[in-house]
Amino acid sequence: MSATATKPINAYDVALENFDLAANALGLDDNIRAMIKYPERILCVSVPVRMDTGKIVRFEGYRVQHNTMRGPAKGGIRYHPNVNMDEVKALATWMTWKCAVVNIPFGGGKGGVTCNPKEMSMGELERMTRRYATSILPLIGPEKDIPAPDVYTTPQIMAWIMDTYSMNKGYPVHGVVTGKPISLGGSLGRNEATGRGVYFTTLSSCEHLGILVKGARVVVQGFGNAGSVAAHLLDSASAIVIGASDSRIALYNRNGLDIPKLIMHKERTGSLKGFPAAEEITPEELLSLECEILIPAALENAITEENAPAVHTKIIAEAANGPVTPEADRILNQKGVFLIPDILCNAGGVTVSYFEWVQDENHLFWDEQDVNAKLEKVMTRSFADVLRIHTDKKVDMRLAANMLGVSRVAEASRVRGLYP
């Protein structure tokens, strides 16, 4: 067992390692590396909040802008007990390459507050959100940095940020955040966009590998927004979702879970727990189920060198950010598992966020079928771009995606030059 297996895996170390692998494969100039490897700005803020009891509790918040060479920073805000500076830096770094992979004119940003939103009332969440938004106000704006929802943040939270920003400006600024409610300039199709992007890249992978989607067994780890939407779309395409999990429970049914009923059960109860037509298994057993398509859609570092040998799938579709560690990558690659890397697989969310921003800035809105058709075009084209590098350069899919993203940012940096 290596030393890294016993200590927590640092997401930012993983992000830097992935960058170095891509930069080395591209033969990237040291000067360009120095310009694009590290975050441009890091803000750490204190967020005091008056709780319902009257007591004031201090939370810690972050906003990181990794790179703005190709456009404004773009990236979600997450509310989670494990949020820390290195995690936010890692997520901002991945966002830079992700935006470049799907070729949209944004750079990478990310934010978060270290808290447990499940233990907070709506009033407490609103006060914390508005205080956090005020603290990061100098950094954000439709031409500078555009936040969006992430883990445990919602369209309502985006509405509070948009309102806080607008009240400070004195006029409504719809384009400051994406993932907003439709009534405030949100885009149709945004809520399902991440899961739909996972679906499109999974279909492209099945086509590439000659796997029939109809009858393909699917396992979804993490039944939040991305996981449930991907499960629903694959289920609609006659795939069989045999396993699913959330933060509390893992379920299995060898004949396939009834996904529409499971989604309704989750909406009604807040968990998969208590769903009748399935047997309960351990989270470890879920990841080792024999299947064609495994979708890790929870948090980072779900598949490590410890459990990777037990994974039995043909395709891993990374709906979450960083769910597979570099050590696990090497094991899965040797086993012949085809990986759709996160910066490609889950880029549907940021792509439709870009569409939302474009609509807000133009004050002109599109039909949902237009949004979905444009998303499909971007995702299938981006998959083909990454696949071309994978086959031409004979590198794994993660390295291919990172090479594509890093090369586009490097080119923008080279053309723009260094000021002053």
- 57 DSSP β-pair partners: 49
Distance (Å, rounded) from C-alpha 241 to C-alpha 244? Answer: 8
Distance (Å, rounded) from C-alpha 302 to C-alpha 68? Answer: 30
Burial class (CB in 10 A: 0-12, 13-18, 19+), 281: middle
Residue 368, helix vs strand vs coil: helix
Closest by Cα among 77, 83, 105, 107 to 94: 107
Contact between 59 and 113 under an 8 Å Cβ cutoff? The reply is yes
| Per-residue tokens: 73 | 């920073």
> Is position 394 annotated as part of the catalytic site?
no
- 39 DSSP β-pair partners: none
Instruction: Answer left, alpha or beta for residue 111, where phi above 0 means left and psi between -120 and 50 means alpha.
Output: beta
| Exposed e or buried b per residue across 186-215, where buried means at least 16 C-beta atoms within 10 angstroms of its C-beta | bbbbbbbbbbbbbbbbbbbbbeeeebebee
Residue among 110, 180, 266, 314 flagged as catalytic: 110
Residues marked as catalytic: 110
